[in-house]
Structure 1
Amino acid sequence: MSDRAAKKPGVIEQIRTSKHPAVSIARDIAWAVAVVAGIALVLFLVSGTWPAVVAIESGSMIPNMNVGDLVFVSAPERYGDFQTWEDGQASGYVKYNDYGDVVIYRPNGADSVNPIIHRALMWVEANQTVMLPLETGHTAEYTAPHAGYITMGDNNPAPDQLSVYREVGGQIEPVKKEWVVGKALFAIPLVGYLPLHILEVAIVLIVLMLVYDFVVGRRKEQK
């Protein structure tokens, strides 16, 4: 009795070696989740922020960033000081074919909307009045309600702080430091279409796993 009990595999071993279709699928899903979690942990440790990657969803940064680009993000002060367009113009620092860093931020600090990926133009203090550039070549006077970054898409006609953003129910305010997710390090073209269509990708992967398990199971039965 004790010999048979000693030879009986444990629960983990039974799950690992089970040929039952449901167990096999659950095992594949668990493996995929573990791999994704491991990659996410590495990205967080390297970038120092989260999300560590974001996908470009609009054409506001064309031609320097395009829809479907997968952008790798780092904490603002990691891998060099964070520089605005004004800072970059003075220092010669260029990122994505223009002066200054591209910032990823949550508009008005809203966690319920996707982060915006635009260039940081300048830092303003509370109640400071500045002249902001427009695509027409003119400028517009703006008084900051509080300290923060003025931001603008490279392909947009005006800075974000002169724009109404319906997702936050009004005008975008200067970007406070605590609203900043990070800065853009580099981008990989087209790969960002995967997270933009994550539901469809997940369905396809699950279907492929089911088909694979079915085909392998049938072949083993025939043998």
Structure 2
Amino acid sequence: MNFMKFYKQIKHLFIRFWRSDNSKVSLLRDVFVAFLFVFIILIALWTYTGQWFAAPMVAIESGSMEHPNPPYGRIGTIDAGDMVLLVKVNNKRDVIPYSTSDYYNYGKKGDVVVYHPDGDVDEDQIIHRAMCWIEVEIENSNTFYTIEEYGIIRQNASEPLYIPECGIWNWAGNSSVVFDGKPGQNHYQKFTHSGFITKGDNPVSNRACDQLGGICDQLVKVEWISGKASGELPWIGTINLFFNDVFGGKDTLKNVHGDSIQCLVILIVILVSIPIGLDLYGYFKNKKEPIENNKPSSEEKPLEKKLDDELFEKFKK
């Protein structure tokens, strides 16, 4: 019984709060609704991504995932100034690499992951495509690589590894790096654990995989991955890059292309115009209603007309 009484009191107070015309209460109510709206969005994002109480999305800072000849606005691929959602990765089965994928994601096959290079959480995260999984076995002083989908089974690390579509160019512990058939600098690198080969989609700046291009020396472990990219909020991340440049001392805004900035401006104008348009509509509607309410109905006669009719009837009598 006490509970029901308490419930009715709370309900009564809430109704008074919700329907109050007091300016201070109205302001407090608007703030409450705004926070509630943001909270609902966060709950929805956290539920979808599985990234509870962590950032559910990231802004793209560089052009390493850009594709050639993009359409105006660059929708469908990951470009500087975009934002993407991060879906939690629990194990390697949650990531489908380019080598085994049958579906296209951001203009190319395979999942795109966000990871800390070499597991260093102090370094800026990298958002690149998972190309293939290399199983590493170490026996005594020998290291063996297995990439089943490419028919590589327990290949000795001292032998050349050549998978150009994954950005691996004639690479082995005792060989030279080769780009487009031209010898590069000597590069010695052995993987010490199993993990993903990762690579940016940009064919100009990211011809080699991250593990060969000096971005991440070792294969990407699952525990280094913050999440895999899902969805796209085009252009919105430009705002985040602007504040990062101003307050964080970065220089990333220059990576955003002109058409993306133009689309962002158009989007902001549309979003700002909607509430302004609704306010103007409500203002003119409310201004018009009192005038219409003051008009006499067709069934009612004006006061002067009524008085004239009464005088006329008296005169007749």
Aligned to 1:104, the other structure's residue is in SS state: strand
Mapped to 1, the partners of 2:245 and 2:188 lie a distance apart of 45
Q: Which moved more, 1:46-55 or 1:148-157?
A: 46-55
Q: Which residue of 2 aligns with 1:46?
A: 48
SS in 2 for 1:151: strand
Change in 2 beyond 3 A, CA 1:37/1:199:
farther
Residues in 1 aligned to 2:82 and 2:131: alpha-carbon distance in whole angstroms:
22
Supply the distance in 2 between the matched residues of 1:135 and 1:18 (Cα, whole angstroms): 74
Aligned with 1:148 (options 195, 200, 223): 195
Cα contact 2:131–2:197 (8 A) shared by 1:
yes
Equivalent residues in 2 for 1:60-209, closer than 5 Å: 60-63=64-67, 64-76=77-89, 81-88=94-101, 92-126=102-136, 127=143, 128=145, 129=157, 130-131=161-162, 132-133=168-169, 136-138=179-181, 143-155=190-202, 156-165=206-215, 171-198=216-243
- Structure 1 residues 198 and 39: CA distance shift in structure 2, 3 A: farther
**Preserved CA contact (<8 Å) 2:210 2:217:** yes
Give the secondary-structure state (helix, strand or coil) at the position aligned to 1:117. strand
Conservation of the 8 A alpha-carbon contact between 2:191 and 2:219 = yes
Return the TM-score normalized by structure 2: 0.46
Distance 1:111 1:33 in 2: 31
Instruction: Give the SS at the match of 1:196.
Output: helix
Cα separation, 1, equivalents of 2:243 and 2:43: 19
After superposition, what is the alpha-carbon deviation per residue over 1:31-73, rounded to whole angstroms, capped at 9, x for unaligned? 7666544433321111112432111100000123211111122
Deviation at 1:87, TM superposition (A): 0.8
Structure with larger Rg: 2
Amino acid at match of 2:126: I
Shift of 1:192: 1.2
Closer, same or farther: CA 105–17 of 1 in aligned 2, 3 Å = farther
Name whichever of 96-105 and 36-45 sits farther off: 36-45
Q: C-alpha root-mean-square deviation of aligned residues, in Å?
A: 3.9
Name the SS for the 1:161 alignment partner: coil
SS of the counterpart of 2:211?
helix
Q: 1:29: Cα distance to partner?
A: 7.6
Instruction: Report the equivalent of 2:150.
Output: none
- Higher RCO (CA-CA < 8 Å; seq separation 6+): 1
1:124–1:199 CA distance, 2 compared to 1 (3 A): closer
Q: What is the identity percentage for the equivalent residue pairs of Structure 1 and Structure 2?
A: 33
C-alpha distance 183-143 of structure 1, shift in aligned 2 (>3 A): same
What is the one-letter code of the residue matched to 2:201?
D
